[in-house]
Structure formats: structure tokens, C-alpha cells
Structure 1
């Protein structure tokens, strides 16, 4: 960007034009050529599961034959969805979240990423009372797509997690309560399961944080894109209920419909009303396709069975296969590695403690070999202190075909093995 162009853009626009992780990730997906040697382990695309796609095909066929098709294609929704659809969603979701939701608790968006761009700015930056509020990420690494959502600069804060060894070549991040600091904080944000690690914070962790925040009335945003009630990839952990002070986000992307761009927000009525104002200005209206598809899936109660009988078994099988393939290649090549316990989601978070180059340099070398991964340095927004994992970790998806995972494991192991510090 030239200096003249700098002068023509806001500070926010200048920051967005710089190389953010989410842009790099999505551009990698968009620039894939389809070459048979490409190994796409970097993105967050769900797997193409024939049994799930058959269900979606039948749902789309039903919509195409419905007399309401003319309204789906030819009429605007309200900014966060028409009242009838919001009431349907409230009634359907209430039992899953152990509460009695009303339409006033529901908002629809063109994906939960879209909703978070409003939610994070609603509670952070310059405030009406003259203060400046920040976004606390209680545990990092955290989702790559949050980092550049805030309009104000220097908004995120985070502390290193506790790192616990859980077995040979295995570890887990845990909430660090000793560094939990709410000074100048306007909102807490986390994903469950956590993207990128697959960590699933316990309900007791959530309740402990809320004990600290409730007197200051600091809300907690919980991103359930991979969580309950669908696709429900949370292992053995208990599902998150809705309660006052929490804002929950759901997504259709990870059930297998990322192209639909549909997300649901559950929150208090004041937050929902404010989000409606944001949505009217930013989107005019939520798209119809996701809303109508949601209504059909909810009315036929399709998603619980889809999650339990198709999605969870599929991803659990993929996870087991991926760990076997990468472990075999790492051990064969003498790679020093640690894998975060994958409790849910689509990803492996792998640490290379003896890596002699940065994870971003590793990403570039992999890309030169047609292997796409994600450098872990992007996943620590707001962390302003040394933590070796920021330079030693990568994220990769295990949603790909077995042959692709095997080739990716071979290439990655070979590159890492040739860029390790030698032990004495």
C-alpha cells in the first residue's frame, strides 16, 4: 500500500488491508487449482458426507416445490428474520438450551462470522461513558476470524493458558485463572469446541468466569459453530445451556452447509434489538435461503439425528485415522511433536517444540510443496507476552480423504524433520 493510499483510508481499513490470518486462510481456499497433487489441510470446510448431502438434497427439492418459493426468492426478510421464523426457532431450540426462549431472544444472520462482527463491536472500543473497553479471550489460541473484527485498534487482550501434559506426545490447554484480569474488559469471547485446538472448556470453567464477571455485567459470547445442539462435536462434555449474561451463536456451516451462510444468535432482548439495528445498516436483511431451510429442518426435526448418527461417527472415524497417519509419519522421520487432545471440532493442533524455523516459514515451505496448512501464529490475538507455542504450532483439518491425509503427513513430517534443532 502506498503512502498516498494510506492517507485515503481509515485506520481500520489500513489494518484490514494488511495480511490477516482469516484472509490468508480463505484466499488459500479460493486459489486452490484442483491440481491432483494439492493437499488442502488448511481450511475449515466440512467434509462432503454422502448421507448428509442426500438429506440436504431432499430438503432443497422440497423447498423448490413449495408454493412459498416465490416468497423465498422474491421477498425481503426483516433485518434479523421475520417474527414467524424467529418464533419457530425459539420454540424448537428451547429444550436444547434448557430454557424458555421467545422470538425476542433470536436473531438470524448471514453466518455467525457476520454476527460476531457486530457483537464484538457492540461491547468494545470507545464507549458512551468515555471509557475504552476491550475484548478478553479467556483462553488462547482462539478462532482466527475474531482478530480483525473490531473497528477500534488494540482491542483484544489475552494471557497464556496453562499447558498440561496429558500423555506421550499429548497435551491440553487449560484456563489460567491466576492471570484472569477484567480491568477495562467489555466482553469475553470464546469458541466451544475451541477452534483451532478442539478444546472443550467445561461448564465449571464457564461458571467460574461468570462468577467473576456478573457483578460488572460483562457478557460472555460463546461460539457454538462446532458445538451443541448441532453438529454437537463436543465429545463427552456437557452441552452449554442458555442463561442470562450469555450470548450463543449457532451455525449451519459445520453441519455441511457453509455455502448457505446462515447463523443464529441467542441472547437477551436488548442485545437482539441492537443487533437488528446493526443488521439493517450492514446487511439490510438476512438472506432467505438459510431461514427457509432452517424452518424445514427444524419442523422435520432432522438435525439431532443427523448429528448423532452421521456427523459425529464420521468425524470421530476421521480423527482416529488422521492421528494414526500423522503419528506414524512423525515417528518414522524422528519428528519432535505434540498433539493437543482433540475433544471436538475438525482440527488437529500440532506443536513442534524443536522447530528451527517459525510456523509461518513452515507454512510457506508446505505451500511450495502443494500442502496447505495454517500457521498457528494467527490464533493468539491480544497476547502481548512471550509464549513459545505462538511460533511452534500449526492447525490442520482432518476432514479430507484418507489418501490426502497420508500424503500430507508424509510431506509435513519430511519438512519438519529437516528443520529441527538437533538434540545434544
Structure 2
């Protein structure tokens, strides 16, 4: 069987996907508790969130099984959820949405994939690329474009802060030099760094999108208004060039794949047509559950009282464990993220390599995620001193004991790697 060029690209194995396959095959036939998984992307099992969704799904199933499960639904999304989204965002932010501004999809990643298919590819003036204005960013974005060489990333500026802290910031000059923009896409707070864009940066990105007449897609999977994982101080912005994507996955419902986009009716109408031609519509039972959680305020309450405090505590806990366990004399820094589910660690030594430490930790039954997969092309990324291969992503979703044990084994591994280099 011969695959098309698009088929070859889409059937390929990404770097991170190969890691996930390695995790699955390595753990097969062993007890899960024998392993420490700090690479996990699942949200933490927060009891209040689990109880909320269990009740909402049970009620949706009991109240109208036939409508929720036994019939096809509108490709744009169920009327009950569309109306709930319109009412919620108009009330929360004073927007003037109508149902034409909203589309529901089977997860926000599918919404982003649809946007990439609509706006990217070869044209009369050259390739129109998906440009991530500040890498590192969510590695799943690198699989969104069906065209070879259709993804580009802009390296950030690196800011050294207090001891063992650093941050990235937008390099607007580098972004402005690009002439291949078909769509801008950024997560905020970001995966893997937890960094949220500032209002000034967001305004700058909107200005670039306007100048090139392209959409800016902002993925709020970790942000405001829910699940608000972290101290997020910039609310979503309504603008004709902005497509805001939201998800309930990190609010405790990842398996049911419900996400939605809010934007200009022309953009949203095209996305709705794409859903009709590809997946027909998102699952209807969880749509009913999400609508109920929006309308009765329980999603806001659980976000405020359980989800945000949980991850605030876990980030502080991870920072303390890193400071206690990592070996003295090691030049390490953690990104000063304001949100998200991960800790982003930079080990700034020539002897450090993210794939090497991944393999060494796997021998000690610990999984982490190598940092290079969050850069579009790590070896050629315009950052100093091999930065893109000297980072790791650690999950905050793991239990506290797993974090302590995993970081302890990481520290032992780094000591083993460091001593030969120093000797």
C-alpha cells in the first residue's frame, strides 16, 4: 500500500509519541506501582472534580438518554451546550456572543487541527505555515499540519532570574521578520513551561495577526476561566482575528474529548463545516454534562475551590523538592511558570543530554519527558549552548510520594552524569 505525501506525514511517529509508545511497551506486563511516571499528561485525580463530572454525566444520562446518546446531533455542537457557552462568556466577560460565534469539537486539539487544515498550506505566495510564536510549546501542535515543512517555531528570549529560576519572553522582532504566517498558535498558560502570555504580548500578537490577516489561535486548556491552573491574570480577549479555544480535559474530563472555540462567525462557520465533514459532531452525553456544569456554576466553584489550589500546592511542593534534592554545584533552573501542570527544568551543562537522562532514568523505573520535543527543530533552534536539549518536563499530577522518589532518582542520575565530567 502506497501512502500519499499527506498520508506519510500523518502516519509518521513523532518524537514524543515514540516516547509514549516506549513507556507503554516498557510498563507492559509489570505492575503500574513499580514505576514512577513524571511524564504523565493526565490531569490529577482531584476528588471534587471527579464527583462533579460523575454527577453531571449521571444526570445527563438519566434525564434524556435518547437525545444525548440515541440520536445524531448538530455538527456545530448541541444547542444546549452552545447556548450555555454563549450565556456563560457573555456574563463572565461582557461579550456579545451569539451561537454563530461558537463551535464544539471532540477536544480542543481537534479544533486546532481543523484550523490548521483550513488556514495552512502552499499558496500562490509560498507556504503558509503554522507559526508558534514562542517555543517551547505543546508538542502536539507539531502534528497539526498535513503539509511537509508546514510548522515553524520562534525561539524565545531567555531571562535569568533569581538563583535556580529563569523565564522565557516573546521575541517579537524575530516573529515580525517572518513572511510565511498562515496561523499563529500559542498555549497560555503553556505546556510545558506554565508561562502565561501578558496582556502586552497578547496585544502584540494580535497586531501581527492583523497585519498578516491570519488567525491567532489561543489555547486556554490550562487557563481562564477554567481550569485556571495557576495564577492567570489575563482574561481571554475577543477580536476578529482571535480564535479562543477552551477545554474541560484539564478540569477532570479528559477521556470524553470536549473542547470548543469562540471567534469570528466566518472562522467559526468554517470550523463547523470541517467538523461536519470529518467527525460529524462531538460526543453528545458529555456535551450535556458540560452545559449543566456551566449553567449551575459548579464548574466555576470546583475550579476555584479545588483545581486551582491543588496545582498551586503541587507547584510549590515540586519547587521545594527540587531545591532539596538536586545536587550542589549543579547549574539548574526551573521556569517561573504561572500555571499549567508541569515543571520545566533546565540543566545547563555540556554533559547533559535530555535523551540520555531519559534512558538512564528509565533504568531506574522513572519516566520523564525530554525537552527537545517541545521545540520544532531542536538541533537548529536559535538558542544558545544547546538549550533545547538540556531541558526536562516533570508532571505535577503525580502523587507527592512519586514526586519525591522520582526527583531523588533524578538527582542520583545527575550526580552520576556530573562526576565523570568534573573528574
Shorter-normalised TM-score: what interval? over 0.9
Task: Note if contact 1:39-1:371 (Cα within 8 Å) is conserved in structure 2.
Answer: yes
Task: Note if contact 1:228-1:234 (Cα within 8 Å) is conserved in structure 2.
Answer: no
> Relative to 1, partners in 2 of residues 1:386 and 1:213: Cα closer, same or farther, differing over 3 Å?
closer
TM-score by structure 1 length? Answer: 0.92
Deviations 1:137-193 (A, max 9, x none): 110101010001100011122232110011101000001122122302111110000
Equivalent of 1:193, from 180, 189, 195?
Answer: 189
Aligned to 2:398: 400
> Relative to 1, partners in 2 of residues 1:377 and 1:196: Cα closer, same or farther, differing over 3 Å?
same
Aligned residues between the structures = 415
Task: Note if contact 1:352-1:393 (Cα within 8 Å) is conserved in structure 2.
Answer: yes
1:173 equivalent in alignment to 2:183: no
Structure with greater helix percent: 2
Aligned to 2:179: 183
Counterpart CA distance in 2 for 1:303 and 1:29 is: 33
Counterpart CA distance in 2 for 1:382 and 1:125 is: 19
Task: Note if contact 2:9-2:146 (Cα within 8 Å) is conserved in structure 1.
Answer: no
Counterpart CA distance in 2 for 1:24 and 1:219 is: 31
Counterpart CA distance in 2 for 1:17 and 1:357 is: 32
Equivalent of 1:328, from 324, 330, 341?
Answer: 324
Alignment of 1:374-393 (within 5 A): 374-381=369-376, 384-387=380-383, 388-393=386-391
Counterpart CA distance in 2 for 1:83 and 1:63 is: 14
Equivalent of 2:227, from 228, 231, 239?
Answer: 231
Aligned to 2:158: 163
Aligned partner of residue 221 in structure 1, secondary structure? strand
Deviation at 1:25, TM superposition (A): 5.1
> Relative to 1, partners in 2 of residues 1:382 and 1:189: Cα closer, same or farther, differing over 3 Å?
farther
Equivalent of 1:35, from 12, 32, 36?
Answer: 32
Counterpart CA distance in 1 for 2:100 and 2:20 is: 34
Equivalent of 1:276, from 261, 269, 272?
Answer: 272
Task: Note if contact 1:203-1:240 (Cα within 8 Å) is conserved in structure 2.
Answer: no
Aligned partner of residue 104 in structure 2, secondary structure? strand
Equivalent of 2:140, from 141, 145, 165?
Answer: 145
Aligned to 1:9: 3
- RMSD over aligned Cα atoms: 2.0
Deviations 1:245-277 (A, max 9, x none): 100111110001101111011111111111122
Counterpart CA distance in 2 for 1:160 and 1:171 is: 15
State which drifts further: 81-90 or 175-184.
Answer: 81-90
Deviation at 1:46, TM superposition (A): 0.6
Structure 1 segments unaligned to the other structure (5+ residues)? none
